[in-house]
Structure 1
Amino acid sequence: MNVKRRQFLRSLSMLAASSAIPLSGFQFNMNRKLRIALVGTGIRGITFWGKRLQSQYAEILEFVGLSDINPGRLEYGRSFIGTNCPVFTDFDQMLSETSPDLLIVTTVDATHHEFIIKGLNAGIDVLTEKPLTTDEHKCRDILEAERRSSRKLIVGFNYRWSPYSTKVKELLMNGEIGQITSVDFHWYLNTYHGASYFRRWHGLREMGGTLWVHKATHHFDLLNWWIDSDPEEVFAYGDLEFYGRNNSFRGKNCRTCSFRDQCDFYWDIGSDQFLTDLYVDHEQHDGYIRDNCLFREEIDIYDKMSAQIKYKNNTIVNYSLTTYSPFEGWRVAFNGTKGRIEAWLDIPYQGDLKISQEEMHRMEMQQGEGEIMEEFIITHKLWNDFQTVRVPVDKSGHGGGDERLHAQIFEHPEIKDPFDRAAGSRDGAMSILIGIAARTSIETGNPIRISSLTDLEPGIKRIVD
């Protein structure tokens, strides 16, 4: 990152000079390079938590070990990251031989708990990708492990760090609309991004806990942070009626499918050299197919979801997630005692959106310098005309959140964050517990109280870890 770029990002949003890691959190030894071990060398692991750290922060950190069950992907990951550290198919061996200061967990969601708990038990600080885990039982085990440990667990929620989300938070904190009473929040995944979940391991409940957990944990974390209270009760509906067994034809995967000429969702993974090198070339080691048919009958997650969430401070939220929308974007509206705030991103007919839906997804996932665009937030106080708030937004790396999350962890962990974007184990738990409660509500037909899932008691005001 060049100096001008770094200065711009800081002045733009006051984010890089803030801290998501509390001083009582990670106990890094600043007298030497930070020793990092990474488990899970999939795409998120080797790009955002791998190559980007290696290229941006090599002067202050070093990778001392990489671990994965797939030896081919492991070797490719080491080369891609640009490190010569040892690699391990045996995670326990990596921990015992490398003595890391920080363990980063980027494995399949259903295994997060295993590595988080082993790291904490070994006296190592742990940073995990979202979601924290996939069910309430594993969540309880993680919380207990952290309580026993002298070390800390941080969840890498990046959406909090985007300038746009932070501006919404700032307006709410400043009492722009008084006390929040209700919220409408709707997220739309397009047929590039949304479909990709059904191709991958995320399409199996046992692996990702359904998109109520894997994807919506982002959205629920934003709600918890924006509303500044804990969820109390959830009632939900959901179904699988577009992907999976609902199509009239299906194949093994896109590469070998005889229906490629008539399938609107045909995807040629061979045209992407990176994904071919990372996944296709190493399928023989673990059997993981990256371009699975998204109409295969084993898919058992929901593709449409809707929930009503009651918060401890009596805020009511109406939430929905659609996985086959023509466009990718979201809308949120906050009603309060003094007015209303409306915010949205990437709704094509509410702005001059020129790029394709496929390119939009690529930009969101890429790291580096993205195009700076101006987005808008509407504030409307009672008995007054509405006002338009203009927000400069970086379109790369999850709205600029990725880059800023790294900056605060590795550049300025000592400075207090005025927006409390710190995301510890309680934040991680409260976000997945909404999704777990929603999933349970669909299965039982009953509203589910958050306090029935773990020993965490919802607070009227959100507790900062």
Structure 2
Amino acid sequence: MESFSRRSFLQAVALLAAGSVVSLPANAFGLHRKLRVTLVGTGVRGISFWGRRLVEQYPDQLEFVGLSDVNPGRLQYAKEYMKVDCPTFVNFKEMLRTAKPDLVIVCTTDSSHHEQIIGGLAAGCDVLTEKPLTTDEIKAQAILDAERQYGKNLIVGFNYRWSPYMTKIKELLMNGEIGEITSVDFNWYLNTHHGASYFRRWHGLMNKGGSLWIHKATHHFDLLNWWLDSEPDEVFAYGALEHYGKNGPFRGTSCRSCSYKKECDYYWDITGDAHAMKLYVANEAHDGYIRDGCVYRKEIDIYDKMSAQIKYANGAIANYSLTTYSPFEGWRIAFNGQKGRVEAWLDIPWMKNDSVDQESLHAAEMQQAENVDVIHEPVVLYKNWKDYQIIQVASERAGHGGGDRRLHDKLFKQTEAPDPYGHSAGLRDGVMSILIGVAARHSIEQGSPIKIASLTDLKPQAKRT
């Protein structure tokens, strides 16, 4: 139920932006007026990154003509927070009929993305969906089929590609600095603040988010596919739930109501977050969703440790791991090539002799400020039989390393700007990123490698087109 056709991919290539993927030609909608935009799913990501920021930064390019959510209380707060004066709808289909949007932005729970994506395409709208595209191969195929049938464009939100640091890595690899890439080691660490937050929310349930193989790692797999300029062919994986969920020493319903506040290292006081209180706690009665859920509640059924080996169609092999309860938040990657090696990392405390507050670190990354401090981060380039070279990359902390604003600018303002590194991506990229996670889940369940070609009608390409 999803993905992009080859023809549509070529048409949409300029439209889509990464990690969140996206780039849109000026005439992509055939319009000479403001873009009519609707948002479905008014959680924190929707009303901030795809909501208020667009309202504030692109008033001459777009206007919101409708907001939709199954929770009427959250919907009303979203309207106030985004500072828009548009109709609100509990019924998504009614919004499509009434608001007649050009673009539908989808920010609902991951497992329901396909419903709004297909509904938007069928209504004759282009659709932009927050990552991940969807949560399984059946829904992915349905989206693929719908995009082909209705001839509209689908945009997936891949923002990580657009950061200057990620771009420097792409530049080195693309320029052949280390020759043909043969293998990759990629390790991502979620800390006990950010990592734990997924287990407090609906993301801790397999039937809502498809596990962190999908919701979180889709970012990482998209980066791998983009960096390697190839598509995955086969995946073998391991995973288990050994820290959160039923493994906890005690449990409750929410942190607010828990009797173990003093004993639990994961206690989080949501009452100190006015925004979360107004958006979520004040509206629990409408749908029962608890934002500060217990990380040890028994219904949690996703993996909290994950490791996969990915074989690419061009012959490269990637070893990937995701940790969800690390003392620090960061990542490391190394590319091995026929002529050398590239190493890169961000936020590994001992590398800079830093002592960083982990909650503040994540808050800084999510910040959407326009005036940002420029920082410098190293990338190490090794060439066989030569001394290594440390390249200092001018980068940013806010907005996912500067990727957020670059993605938005490409979508709504700098639509004709050159894209030499292929930041813009199509539906095919969205599909290939989630299929690695889907294959990893199946591999764990079956104890065997999974061929990507067995999941949808897309056949992996040795070189991305």
Q: CA RMSD in A?
A: 1.3
Q: Which secondary structure does the structure 1 equivalent of 2:441 belong to? A: helix
Aligned to 1:8: none
Measure the CA separation in 1 of the matches of 2:251 and 2:321: 28
TM-score by length of 2: 0.94
Matched ranges for 1:128-277 at <5 A: 128-277=129-278
Q: Which secondary structure does the structure 1 equivalent of 2:319 belong to? A: strand
Q: Which secondary structure does the structure 2 equivalent of 1:253 belong to? A: coil
Q: Which secondary structure does the structure 1 equivalent of 2:439 belong to? A: helix
Could you tell me which of 447, 454, 465 is aligned with 1:445?
A: 447
Aligned to 1:459: 461
| 1:399 lines up with 2:401 in the alignment | yes
Per-residue CA shift, 1:281-337, capped at 9, x if unaligned?
Answer: 000000000000000000000000000000000000000000000000000000001
Q: Gaps spanning 5+ residues in structure 1: where?
A: 1-14
Q: Shift of the alpha carbon at 1:355?
A: 3.2
Q: Answer whether contact 1:177 1:340 (CA < 8 A) is retained.
A: yes
Aligned to 1:7: none
Per-residue CA shift, 1:30-62, capped at 9, x if unaligned?
Answer: x21111000000000000000000011112210
Measure the CA separation in 2 of the matches of 1:371 and 1:235: 41
Q: Which secondary structure does the structure 2 equivalent of 1:397 belong to? A: helix
Which stretch shifts more, 121-130 or 416-425? 416-425
Measure the CA separation in 2 of the matches of 1:455 and 1:309: 19
Aligned to 2:424: 422
* AA at the equivalent of 2:376: E
Which stretch shifts more, 403-412 or 349-358? 349-358
Aligned to 2:113: 112
TM-score by length of 1: 0.94
Q: Answer whether contact 1:181 1:314 (CA < 8 A) is retained.
A: yes
Matched ranges for 1:262-301 at <5 A: 262-301=263-302
Per-residue CA shift, 1:377-411, capped at 9, x if unaligned?
Answer: 00000000000111111101111111111111111
* AA at the equivalent of 2:401: G
Q: Shift of the alpha carbon at 1:22?
A: 5.1
* AA at the equivalent of 1:85: C
**Structure 1 pair 437/414, CA: closer, same or farther in 2 (3 Å)?**
same
Aligned to 1:381: 383
Matched ranges for 1:311-390 at <5 A: 311-368=312-369, 369-390=371-392
Q: Shift of the alpha carbon at 1:201?
A: 0.1
Measure the CA separation in 2 of the matches of 1:372 and 1:391: 10
Q: Which secondary structure does the structure 2 equivalent of 1:115 belong to? A: helix
Q: Answer whether contact 2:213 2:438 (CA < 8 A) is retained.
A: yes
Which stretch shifts more, 361-370 or 382-391? 361-370
Q: Which secondary structure does the structure 1 equivalent of 2:462 belong to? A: coil
Measure the CA separation in 1 of the matches of 2:410 and 2:324: 32
Measure the CA separation in 2 of the matches of 1:168 and 1:394: 15
Q: Answer whether contact 1:28 1:101 (CA < 8 A) is retained.
A: no
Q: Shift of the alpha carbon at 1:364?
A: 1.2
Q: Answer whether contact 1:20 1:420 (CA < 8 A) is retained.
A: no
* AA at the equivalent of 2:345: W
The percent of aligned pairs where both chains have the same amino acid is 62
Per-residue CA shift, 1:114-138, capped at 9, x if unaligned?
Answer: 0000111111111100000000000
Per-residue CA shift, 1:78-102, capped at 9, x if unaligned?
Answer: 0000101000000000000111111
Measure the CA separation in 2 of the matches of 1:310 and 1:158: 25
Measure the CA separation in 2 of the matches of 1:345 and 1:265: 25
**Structure 1 pair 234/91, CA: closer, same or farther in 2 (3 Å)?**
same
Aligned to 1:434: 436
Q: Which secondary structure does the structure 2 equivalent of 1:277 belong to? A: helix
Per-residue CA shift, 1:329-350, capped at 9, x if unaligned?
Answer: 0000000011000000000011
After superposing on structure 2, the runs of 4+ consecutive aligned residues of structure 1 that deviate more than 6 Å are none
Which stretch shifts more, 323-332 or 347-356? 347-356
Q: Answer whether contact 1:253 1:293 (CA < 8 A) is retained.
A: yes
Q: Answer whether contact 2:231 2:462 (CA < 8 A) is retained.
A: yes
Aligned to 2:13: none
Could you tell me which of 4, 19, 27 is aligned with 2:29?
A: 27
Q: Which secondary structure does the structure 2 equivalent of 1:419 belong to? A: coil
Q: Shift of the alpha carbon at 1:252?
A: 1.1
Aligned to 2:6: none
**Structure 1 pair 22/313, CA: closer, same or farther in 2 (3 Å)?**
farther
Aligned to 2:5: none
Q: Answer whether contact 2:109 2:208 (CA < 8 A) is retained.
A: yes
Measure the CA separation in 2 of the matches of 1:362 and 1:93: 36
* AA at the equivalent of 1:142: I
Measure the CA separation in 2 of the matches of 1:59 and 1:427: 30
* AA at the equivalent of 2:103: L
Q: Shift of the alpha carbon at 1:354?
A: 4.6
Measure the CA separation in 2 of the matches of 1:88 and 1:22: 27
Q: Shift of the alpha carbon at 1:28?
A: 4.6
**Structure 1 pair 25/159, CA: closer, same or farther in 2 (3 Å)?**
farther
| 1:409 lines up with 2:423 in the alignment | no
* AA at the equivalent of 1:144: D
Per-residue CA shift, 1:10-42, capped at 9, x if unaligned?
Answer: xxxxx9xxx94253994251x211110000000
Per-residue CA shift, 1:336-371, capped at 9, x if unaligned?
Answer: 011000000000011153531110011111111333
Q: Answer whether contact 1:331 1:345 (CA < 8 A) is retained.
A: yes
Q: Answer whether contact 1:25 1:152 (CA < 8 A) is retained.
A: no
Aligned to 2:124: 123
Q: Gaps spanning 5+ residues in structure 2: where?
A: 1-16
Measure the CA separation in 1 of the matches of 2:73 and 2:22: 34
Q: Shift of the alpha carbon at 1:422?
A: 1.4
Per-residue CA shift, 1:186-233, capped at 9, x if unaligned?
Answer: 000000000000000000000000000000000000000000000000
Q: Answer whether contact 2:334 2:344 (CA < 8 A) is retained.
A: yes
Aligned to 2:85: 84
Q: Shift of the alpha carbon at 1:423?
A: 2.1
* AA at the equivalent of 1:284: A
